Structure 1
Amino acid sequence: MDTLTEADGRVRSVLVAVALTVAGLLASQVTTLPAILVEPDLALDPSGVGRGLLVAFFILNFLGFAVAGAAYLAYTGLGWSFVDLRTPSLRDWKYAILGIVASFGFVIVVSVLATVADLSATDNQVVDYIGDDSTMALYLIVIAFLFNAPAEEFLWRNVIQKRLYAAFSRMGAVVVTSLVFAGVHFPVYAATAPSLDPTGLAGVLVSLLVVFGGSIVFGYVYVRTRNLVVPIVAHAGFNAIQFGFLYLTIEYAPEDLEAAMALVRLALPVG
């Protein structure tokens, strides 16, 4: 393959990755419409919305990502054989644990650096849905394993990252996927930033750095195992531990809730 053709192939692959990412985010907006039509406050002030509708909203949101990925497989004729699902081996489980540990390690490093620089991450919408409802935190643990991680890892790892293998090295595809994933979140975080002055933009960048780092970790364990179950477990385990921590804080140390919310706000990307 000559240089021009290779460059064209990479540009096309990146554009496909961007299009699929945008399609996933737009699809999630469409799939959540039934819940929002039933309760408009889901889009305005979710603090007073009942748990049943909140659970439905989250499930429908993640369903949109899965729909976008499935539509691409159907459109391209790749089919479900393209999906790397198999029972994890002992080695796979080790990488899943590595993914959880590495994700937390990255968040801690970013948190420390942000504190030293006197910066704070932009608000995360997930904490608004939880509020001080400990039971909702438990529901989100279940949702993380059954809907959140499977849908996001299916689209961004098994569809987008794997599609990029045709034009990039394995780790190159991980980096490109992560850049695209973080990039499309810029307007979401910018919209919730208190201001877009240098301090506000720095907070947005802190949030995007966490999104980018998490994607790098989950992408790496997928490269090493070629098994979608592994990044799903790592992703879900990472989120579940955060929600579990939040549950314990609400139940047994409510005076520390603000600090706990700050950790979850930093670590969980906006969907």
Structure 2
Amino acid sequence: MPTPTRSESPTRSVLVGFGLSVFAFVVVNALVAPLAFLEPALGDPNQQADRGPTIVMLLLNFGGFFLAGGIYLAVTGRGWSFVDLRIPTVRDWGWAIAATLGSILFIIVFGFLIQFLELPQAPNEVVNIIGDDQVLLLAMFAIVVFANAPAEEFFFRNIVQKRLYESFSRNGAVLAASAIFALVHIPSYLIGGPLYGTLVSLFAVFCGSLIFGYAYARTDNILVPTAAHAGFNLFQFGLLYLQLEYADSGELPSLLLEAAVAFVVL
């Protein structure tokens, strides 16, 4: 896996990566704004919007990352050949499984640590949107596999992280891209709790991004972190579903429920 010649300063490269991420969120908001105008409840955290518009909003949200990445590839002349997409090898699947299990193990340990230390936390905006709607939660299983994980990994790994290879080592690019990934998620967590809780949640986002970014750096195949990201989110939403279904029945171990509540969706 050859590393591109480093032709610009790390500071400029990070600024470009952060600027690309901001641009992606501008594109996302441009796509979602008309829908929010038609369905005002989507823009009000105190209201529960209808299920249909909510699903469309989530799909537009993640679709914005694909659009932003495509615009970048077209404007810079890199083209779609810049995308590291191929049929996974046995080695690729090994990395995908390792990244999935590693991220799940991390969030389990992190969740119990939060409970043990009684640290505050801020739920992701998506968790607030889902609320107690179990049907919408089940729809999220398909959304994370076919929209969320592919969109975020394509943009933050294959666009931002790969762009950082021009100024950083592979490991350095993983660190820088993960920091950018965490920073741009601030709006998704800030509305959910105190600032300290937001910082705790963003630390989990940063660590999860490190795992997915390293798997991509080792394989140069965007399907690897995408599969790991999807598997990780499916695990989280599965626990959230169990929590909604059985939280009041006493059928699940209390420690499992406490850990599920502490989980942070990436």
Output the TM-score relative to the length of structure 2.
0.89
* Deviation for aligned residue 1:154: 0.6
1:143 has 2:143 as partner? yes
**Of 88-97 and 139-148, the range deviating more from structure 2:** 88-97
Name the structure 1 match of 2:202. 208
Query: Structure 2: where are the runs of 5+ without partners?
Result: 1-5
1:75 has 2:75 as partner? yes
Name the structure 2 match of 1:41. 41
Number of aligned residue pairs: 258
Q: Does the CA-based 8 Å contact 1:242-1:264 persist in structure 2?
A: no
* Deviation for aligned residue 1:262: 7.0
**Of 162-171 and 253-262, the range deviating more from structure 2:** 253-262
Local SS of the residue matching 1:32:
helix
Name the structure 2 match of 1:233. 227
**Can you list the C-alpha shifts for 1:218-255, whole angstroms capped at 9, x where unaligned?**
00110111100011110011111221222233334554
* Deviation for aligned residue 1:162: 0.4
For residues 195 and 44 of structure 2, the distance between their equivalents in structure 1, rounded to whole angstroms, comes to: 24
**Of 115-124 and 142-151, the range deviating more from structure 2:** 115-124
Which AA in structure 2 matches 1:210? A
Name the structure 2 match of 1:92. 92
Q: Residues 184 and 88 of structure 1: is their aligned pair in 2 closer, same or farther, counting only changes over 3 Å?
A: same
* Deviation for aligned residue 1:17: 0.5
Q: Does the CA-based 8 Å contact 1:137-1:247 persist in structure 2?
A: yes
1:111 has 2:111 as partner? yes
1:250 has 2:241 as partner? no
Q: Does the CA-based 8 Å contact 1:66-1:154 persist in structure 2?
A: yes
Which AA in structure 2 matches 1:182? A
Q: Residues 50 and 37 of structure 1: is their aligned pair in 2 closer, same or farther, counting only changes over 3 Å?
A: same
Q: Does the CA-based 8 Å contact 2:182-2:205 persist in structure 1?
A: yes
Output the TM-score relative to the length of structure 1.
0.87
Name the structure 1 match of 2:186. 186
For residues 46 and 136 of structure 2, the distance between their equivalents in structure 1, rounded to whole angstroms, comes to: 12
Local SS of the residue matching 1:192:
coil
Query: Structure 1: where are the runs of 5+ without partners?
Result: 1-5, 194-199
For residues 57 and 261 of structure 1, the distance between their equivalents in structure 2, rounded to whole angstroms, comes to: 30
Identity of aligned residues (%): 46
**Can you list the C-alpha shifts for 1:57-101, whole angstroms capped at 9, x where unaligned?**
100000111111111111100000000111111211111111111
